[in-house]
Structure 1
Amino acid sequence: MAVKVLRLLALLWVTFEFAAAGSYEGYKLYEIATETIAQRNALNALAQEDADKYDFLSLSRLHTQKARVLVAPAHDESFQAELRNQKIPFELKNTNFGRTIQTEVLQNRMLRQAKPYNGTGRLGTERYYSHDEINAYLDDLAARYPTRVFVRIVGKTYEGRILKTITITNGDGVTGKNVVFMDGAFHAREWISPATVVYAIGELVENFEAHAELLQDYDWVILPVMNADGYEYTQSASAFRLWRKTRQPVTVNGTTCYGTDPNRNFGFHWMGKGASSNPCSDIYAGPSAFSEPEAVVVRDIMHSLRDRGILYLTIHSYGYALFYPWGWGPELPDTWEDLHEVAMVGADAIRDYSGTEYEVGSSTALYGEAAGASDDYAFSEGFTLSYTMELPHGGDSGFDPPPSDIDRLVKETWTGIRAMGLKITTKYPSPKQTLS
């Protein structure tokens, strides 16, 4: 009977997926490896001038990183013509991206059905988990480790989903320790981000003995899913898999578009370079700074930690990079050498562990201007160190590592995070503390 039910559910899911997948049906995915600075500049110009026609899933200022572009059937000929006119070589990676995405979303749903989480025990690395499942895991940890773990409701999303942080300590009752603040899932389609953050939570709590040094003089405050509305939206149907933004609607001149890029919505150089005033753009900065309740939640956490916050680390994908302020422009902070030093510790640890090479540098130097981002805001508000960590790509789009890759990627990333955590405990020791 159970087998029949699963087969029926699978059939229903397939039917739903094919009905909902129209937005990517027939889309082509291109990979572009520029060979000269002129080609890279031309590609950047194309991405900016025709952002509404071509979906640049990745684009770095570095020659070493390939760009991936998703192109609708109606724009395919013009896209190829543009590249040929600029003498930019390209490779067609997928002739029907919609079918690939259908398969991926269906696989994740079937894994969720086959391997449900019952609300107790550590989350695994065999599949991607929902926002509700991740919140249930936080509550379970608080119940099982009441002297070391504290879960707090910090706000709601636009659609009313509960956002929770977990504060991880060593249980010694000492107050006033320095703090690491980490978050995940700023961008909805980056599923590997919350998977990585959840794995880090599990290591800090359930593998405490192995990482006790990280918690001796530091507390960790972690928000695993910031953009919960968008994250759930990407899991609802393959047509929405590459959704990036939040879900709050904005109506301008009678036209309604949904969502704001939360990583352009922070009130430091808001609506500067690398942000858009077009509500339909993937990098729309919002109608005003902190228009998104999710960005307000992160801002308020930062403010509450202002006197103790040493490291802010926001986990994104993809890009093989650890970058630091500034993102609003080409200037470097006075303390850029300290920022670079700690980031290199993480990059070196990852390279030694798996051979994966991470680029390290300022956000603008590596990716171009991106004003209104959370890492710039955290640094401007007093965090000594602030980084965006762009994880490796996976799958066809780069944002869709298959479930079989989750374990490898989260463990590799944790190696770098742990190394950075150890470095700051000596470089920035906590002041003398008192028992609460």
Structure 2
Amino acid sequence: MYLLAVAIVSVVPALCQEETYNYQQEFQPTYHQNDAYNPFFKETSQYKEEEKLQYSSFEQINHYLLDVERLYNGTVKSFEIGHSVEGRPIRGIRISKNPGVRKPALLLDAGIHAREWVGPVVAQYAIQQLLANASNANLTDGLDWYILPMLNPDGYVFSMEHPPARLWRKNKAQTFVNYCSGVDLNRNFDYVWGGPGSSDDPCSTNYRGPYPFSEPEAVAFGRFVLSIAQDLRMYLTLHSAAQAILYPWGYTNLVPPDWQDLDALAKKAEAAMSLVNGTRYHVGPTTKVVGLGAGGSDDWAKGAVGIKYVYTLELPGLFYPEKGFHPPTETLPIIAREAFEGIKVFAEHARNRRP
């Protein structure tokens, strides 16, 4: 596992410059308590399961992370892993009841594809559930959580603020073709980079970039994962809208040797999710459910970093063809609750699993 990781990151030295990066380093931006309302920010005493959810702006997401750190000081630590092409911070939080004690960890991310707005909703909902819902207190016993709700801030802002670009998928990097910008960050990771399901055409939505880890967003995330890899027992990445639980590989029709372990846990999570509202999710290898896609963060996390349990949780949306990536807000509570029931199953497994 170690040799694989070294071989992969040696292509891009920036990934190895860990002396300049510390996920525990506290950033202190100006705090604005009231300039951006976020429906997820609730004191424990104010928590209401039935509150209507909504899509959050990039600014609201960032303020929310700072809000929960302030409210749950000692348990929540916000951090910044790097910046986007256009200079926006990429932030997350660590939830740890006893941060001085080393524990197994679960990593959850969202927003690597700009148009998939529902992923950040679910990531924020998970934070709320873990901190404000007393019935979930056991999920943070003996397990550290790292949650990054927005990996592609530039693309997300572009998608939200420009209606003609609602379906924008990539980041906002300039390319060698002046009229085509952006790299698909989920094709930019250095594990079988350039393989099937990615494109060398900058005008393609699956453009993989000029070389692996060419994008600052991917580099920042890669460095962060490597810095906590020794403790990671589970990696979950939120996408939409295939309504599925996927596990590697995305670069080949073959499956990893431990695919039966991955499949069994995914089916257990899907069963829990289906109890919320009867919604059924596909379960299987990425290539067999949604097709080939080399260079993804999931394949990299398993193949290069060596995390055993790696899943892509594809949230629903296909039943709303005119808004496939942006389900109506009235559907968000059910989607979020379904997803969190699955996340709980994965978390319990991560907490109880030994390295």
Task: Select which of 384, 388, 402 maps to 2:312.
Answer: 388
Alignment of 1:232 with 2:135, yes or no, is: no
Task: Select which of 279, 293, 296 maps to 2:202.
Answer: 279
Alignment of 1:324 with 2:247, yes or no, is: yes
Alignment of 1:408 with 2:328, yes or no, is: no
Alignment of 1:210 with 2:135, yes or no, is: yes
2:124 maps to which residue? 198
Q: TM-score, normalised by structure 2?
A: 0.84
What is the correspondence of 1:159-308 to structure 2 with a 5 Å cutoff? Answer: 159-170=86-97, 172-207=98-133, 209-252=134-177, 255-308=178-231
Question: In 2, Cα distance between the equivalents of 1:323 and 1:257?
Answer: 30
Structure 1 residue 148, shift from structure 2 partner = 0.5
Question: In 2, Cα distance between the equivalents of 1:133 and 1:399?
Answer: 20
Structure 1 residue 121, shift from structure 2 partner = 3.2
1:118 and 1:282, CA in 2 relative to 1: closer, same or farther beyond 3 A?
A: closer
Question: In 1, Cα distance between the equivalents of 2:53 and 2:211?
Answer: 39
Q: Deviations over 1:201-224 (max 9, x none)?
A: 1111222x3122221111000110
What is the correspondence of 1:106-185 to structure 2 with a 5 Å cutoff? Answer: 117=37, 121-122=41-42, 125-170=52-97, 172-185=98-111
Question: In 2, Cα distance between the equivalents of 1:213 and 1:118?
Answer: 26
For the 8 Å contact 2:39–2:54, the answer to whether it is kept is no
Question: In 2, Cα distance between the equivalents of 1:302 and 1:162?
Answer: 17
1:65 maps to which residue? none
Kindly tell me the number of residue pairs found equivalent between the two proteins: 311
Structure 1 residue 144, shift from structure 2 partner = 1.1
Q: Which has the larger radius of gyration?
A: 1
For the 8 Å contact 1:249–1:256, the answer to whether it is kept is no
Structure 1 residue 237, shift from structure 2 partner = 2.1
Q: Which moved more, 1:312-321 or 1:212-221?
A: 212-221
Q: Deviations over 1:87-109 (max 9, x none)?
A: xxxxxxxxxxxxxxxxxxxxxxx
1:424 and 1:341, CA in 2 relative to 1: closer, same or farther beyond 3 A?
A: farther
2:348 maps to which residue? 422
Question: In 2, Cα distance between the equivalents of 1:120 and 1:377?
Answer: 31
Question: In 2, Cα distance between the equivalents of 1:415 and 1:217?
Answer: 19
Q: Which moved more, 1:198-207 or 1:264-273?
A: 198-207
* Identity within the alignment, %: 37
2:22 maps to which residue? none
Alignment of 1:361 with 2:275, yes or no, is: no
Question: In 2, Cα distance between the equivalents of 1:327 and 1:422?
Answer: 26
Question: In 1, Cα distance between the equivalents of 2:92 and 2:113?
Answer: 18
Flag the structure with higher strand content.
1
Instruction: Name the aligned partner's letter for residue 152 of structure 2.
Output: N
Structure 1 residue 358, shift from structure 2 partner = 0.9
3-state secondary structure, aligned to 1:283: coil
1:62 maps to which residue? none
Question: In 1, Cα distance between the equivalents of 2:41 and 2:195?
Answer: 44
Instruction: Name the aligned partner's letter for residue 159 of structure 1.
Output: E
Question: In 2, Cα distance between the equivalents of 1:119 and 1:143?
Answer: 17
Q: CA RMSD in A?
A: 1.9
Q: Deviations over 1:214-249 (max 9, x none)?
A: 211110001100011000101112101110110011
Question: In 2, Cα distance between the equivalents of 1:125 and 1:116?
Answer: 17
The structure whose RCO (Cα within 8 Å, separation 6+) is larger is 2
Q: TM-score, normalised by structure 1?
A: 0.69
Alignment of 1:370 with 2:312, yes or no, is: no
Instruction: Name the aligned partner's letter for residue 389 of structure 1.
Output: L
For the 8 Å contact 1:119–1:137, the answer to whether it is kept is no
1:122 and 1:296, CA in 2 relative to 1: closer, same or farther beyond 3 A?
A: farther
